[in-house]
Homo-oligomer: A and B are copies of this chain.
Amino acid sequence: MGRKKLLIKRLECAKARQSKYSKRKIGILKKAKELSVLCDVDLALVMFSPSGTPSVYVGKDKDLHRVVERLSIMSIEDREESEWKNPHTINDLAKLQIMEDHLVASLDCIRAKKRDLIIQEQQNQSIQASLPQGEPII
């Protein structure tokens, strides 16, 4: 769309990339929101500008939020690691700490779920064992 047809290949000029990104980011964020609302659908979109700034849209399921946050943090971390130039070590340590905290919280959550499931399974088995004999449940 636009005055001329544009070939979809990497724009070599960095300035052009940033400019194009600024415009199209708005469009795709709108599309994501429309799709999520119209179709009542779980959706997550994360993008990083050429300079590394993340933009996020998460539709409907708010549980996706936490995962997407982690996605953003991890990717920023990866980017800075690859641009490893200055010793902003304290800042990086703080970010790692945040990531670690997030992961520990997620682990706690998952292990709690596991415990619940195991307990529930045991209860099901004892109920089944105490039932009068009938057709075996498959």
Contact = CB atoms under 8 A, between A and B. Distances in A.
Q: How large is the interface on A (under 10, 10 to 19, 20 to 34, 35 or more residues)?
A: 35 or more
Copies of the chain in the assembly? 2
A37 B12 CA distance: 11
Contacts of A103: 103, 106-107, 110
A92 B117 contact: yes
Contact of A35 (B18, B21, B35): B21
A130 interface: no
A121 to B, nearest CB: 5
Interface string A72-111: 0011001100000001011011001101100110110011
Interface of A: 6, 8-11, 17-18, 20-21, 24-25, 27-28, 31-50, 61, 63-64, 67-68, 70-71, 74-75, 78-79, 87, 89-90, 92-93, 96-97, 99-100, 103-104, 106-107, 110-111, 113-114, 117-118, 120-121, 124
